[in-house]
Amino acid sequence: MKLAMIGLGKMGGNMATRLLRHKIEVVGFDFNADTVNKLAKEEGLIAAGSVADAVSKLSGQKIVWMMLPAGDITENQIKDLIPILNKGDIIIDGGNSNYKDSQRRGAMLAEHGIGFMDSGTSGGVWGLENGYCLMVGGTKEVAAVVTPILKALAPAENRGWAHVGPVGSGHFTKMIHNGIEYGMMQAMAEGLDLIKGKEEFNLNLAEITELWRHGSVVRSWLLDLTADALKDDQELTGIAPYVADSGEGRWTVMESVEQGVAAPVLTLALQARFRSQDATGYSYKLLSMMRNGFGGHAVKMS
């Protein structure tokens, strides 16, 4: 089997590598030529000098998997692919696109007779070694064609991947997945902060997180990663208290508003990330001012 992979960054490059190691031919293109050449030399990638060149190296029913940033870059790339693909060819968006965009793009491509699959892709930098969790949306016909690729990328042929529903459902499922991830991370971070703050017990966070990994109901991959990090430095020296948020966390909260479904944990986890991104801390200054105004509480001056 053969496909083109457009975008060979951390995720795309590792996914291409995993496919190649599972004996699936991959034609790859990225604007970073060094990345393309490295994968060609070390893994047997078929190098392409442009997207059009990558497509030209495919034959029969062409499959193009994109691993690109959500938004205009993905939108424009899909539009550029339409005139160089044929009816029956397939485009897969494995990035973090908004599911509503995926629904619209799927309908647009259907008018040209081109199949579309949206793949919610989880696994991060560990996916190459452990496999990726793939939540895909599309027609049964498209899913049947792409199944060998999904099996190669997943942790095993019979687990870690699923055709969850029609076009858009893959990215929708991944969006909710990321919202849940926010809540889990926030709960873990707050709990460990409380343990660290109980100075009279002098608790060892590395020891406790390692303990929780075995038999505890909170054991998880997130806990594994946390325990590994704390083994080296419990103070997390050099790490700024700033947490970025992806579009998917915001979209999840917006979805809860649209559906009228309460999601306080996911919403507060997102808001906590917003708070960490406030470089000026102006609202904290206002809070201090108000406490001083109604209660005469001291104001700490910078």
Whether 287 is covered by a domain: the verdict is: no
Whether 245 is covered by a domain: the verdict is: yes
If asked whether residues 114 and 46 sit together in one domain, one would say yes
Distance between CA atoms of residues 209 and 218, nearest Å: 10
User: Among residues 110, 133, 166, which one ends one of the domains?
Assistant: 166
Q: Which residues pair with 119 in a beta bridge?
A: 136
Whether 20 is covered by a domain: the verdict is: yes
pLDDT of residue 232: 86
Cα three-residue angle 215-159-114, rounded to 5 degrees? 145
pLDDT of residue 283: 67
If asked whether residues 156 and 214 sit together in one domain, one would say no
- The number of folded domains in the chain is 2
Q: Is the pTM of this model over 0.85?
A: yes
Structural domain range at position 180: 175-279
> Residue 128's closest CA among 257, 253, 18?
18
If asked whether residues 48 and 11 sit together in one domain, one would say yes
Whether 89 is covered by a domain: the verdict is: yes
CB 181 within 8 Å of CB 266: no
If asked whether residues 127 and 15 sit together in one domain, one would say yes
CB 168 within 8 Å of CB 106: yes
CB 135 within 8 Å of CB 119: yes
Q: At what angle do helices 205-212 and 169-197 cross, to 10 degrees?
A: 140
Residues annotated as catalytic are: 174, 181
pLDDT of residue 242: 82
User: Among residues 118, 148, 166, which one ends one of the domains?
Assistant: 166
Distance between CA atoms of residues 39 and 189, nearest Å: 37
Tell me the pLDDT tens digit for each residue of 53-74: 999 999 999 999 999 999 999 9
CB 4 within 8 Å of CB 28: yes
If asked whether residues 39 and 131 sit together in one domain, one would say yes
Q: Which residue has the tokens 């793009």?
A: 105
If asked whether residues 180 and 161 sit together in one domain, one would say no
Within the chain, which residues score under 70 in pLDDT? 281, 283-284, 286, 289, 302
